[in-house]
Amino acid sequence: MRFDRVVSTIDAHAAGEPLRIFTAGVPPLAGATMLERRRFMAEHHDALRRALLFEPRGHADMYGAVLTPPVTPGADYGVLFLTNEGYSSMCGHGIIALTTSLIETGMYQATQPETTIVYDAPAGPITATATVGGGRVEQVAFRNVPAFVAADSVRIRTGVGALDVTVSYGGAFYALVDAAALGVEVVPGRVGDLARLGMEVKRAVEREVDVVHPEEPDLRGIYGAIVSAPPVGDDADGR
């Protein structure tokens, strides 16, 4: 059997959130910035994203990460995050799973008790710090790009009525809404309702506001909705 292309990947997860890391088989991506490389991949190599994230090799919740050389001094890698819908600018669970995989597979030489890896992402530089013991990663923390409120008290109309939401940025733009306003509880048994209502909020905000990063016009649009509620115990700040 003859193969036209071979792509190597590592499948990982962070608390159940999947990440498929492309380790070989992706052609060089042109661009002086990660946003330019993201655009180049979308225009010239999007078939790879579809082949590895869509069924039968992937699934609806599959996420991907493509490693590239860094674009800024001091960074260790460039990284592009892929989704079933397209390309993200930053991914928290992706950084955690990627850092763990690079260290535990030996792709990145770890030091104990801490190992720091700096990534150039489309959103900007991300610094991940892993606690390492016995060659295994015990935990990962990361410093994200600066966060800010992009729009406050945005009035939207949904199936449950008119709502006020906040649009904030932390590597991607999100619509923030209280669960009480949606008439739903943040509990495992309401996951389906949370997903449906969250998507409704996302689309409603997109109709009302053209969200664009003030310093980078390629960072735009609502990535998702975050539905929050008060905590149920003293060991958390919220749900």
CA pair distance 131, 112, nearest whole angstrom: 7
Please say if 91 is a catalytic residue: yes
Same domain, 133 and 155: no
What is the predicted pLDDT for the residue at 184? Answer: 94
Same domain, 170 and 84: no
Contacts for 227 with CB less than 8 Å, ≥ 6 apart:
177, 178, 179, 182, 184, 186, 194, 197, 198, 201
Written as six digits, the tokens of 35 are 């946003």
> Which residue, of 111, 143, 175, is where some domain finishes?
143
CA pair distance 191, 183, nearest whole angstrom: 13
Of 21, 29, 48, 91, which residue is the catalytic one? 91
Written as six digits, the tokens of 18 are 């999947």
What is the predicted pLDDT for the residue at 159? Answer: 87
Same domain, 55 and 173: no
Taking only the tens place, the pLDDT of each residue in 148-202 is 999 999 999 988 889 999 999 999 999 999 999 999 999 999 999 999 999 999 9
Same domain, 193 and 221: yes
Match 């905000």 to its residue by tokens: 205
CA pair distance 227, 82, nearest whole angstrom: 23
Same domain, 129 and 177: no
Residue 18 sits in which domain range?
Answer: 8-143
Same domain, 37 and 96: yes
Same domain, 126 and 20: yes
> Which residue, of 143, 164, 192, is where some domain finishes?
143
Residue 83 lies in a domain: yes
The pTM assigned to this predicted structure is 0.93
Residue 193: exposed, middle, or buried by beta-carbon count in 10 A (0-12, 13-18, 19+)? middle
Same domain, 186 and 81: no
Cβ distance 104 to 137 under 8 Å?
yes
What is the predicted pLDDT for the residue at 166? Answer: 97
Same domain, 49 and 124: yes
Listed in order, strand segments (DSSP E) in the chain are: 8-14, 17-24, 64-68, 77-82, 87-88, 114-121, 124-133, 136-143, 148-158, 161-169, 173-178, 222-228
Look at the chain and report how many structural domains it folds into.
2
> CATH code at 178?
3.10.310.10
Same domain, 131 and 155: no
| Regions of the chain where pLDDT drops below 70 | none
Residue type, 237: D
What is the predicted pLDDT for the residue at 234? Answer: 87
Same domain, 98 and 167: no
> Which residue, of 93, 128, 143, is where some domain finishes?
143
Cis-peptide, bond into residue 69, ω within 30° of zero: no
Residue 210 lies in a domain: yes
- Residue positions counted in the chain: 239
What is the predicted pLDDT for the residue at 5? Answer: 86
Same domain, 22 and 89: yes
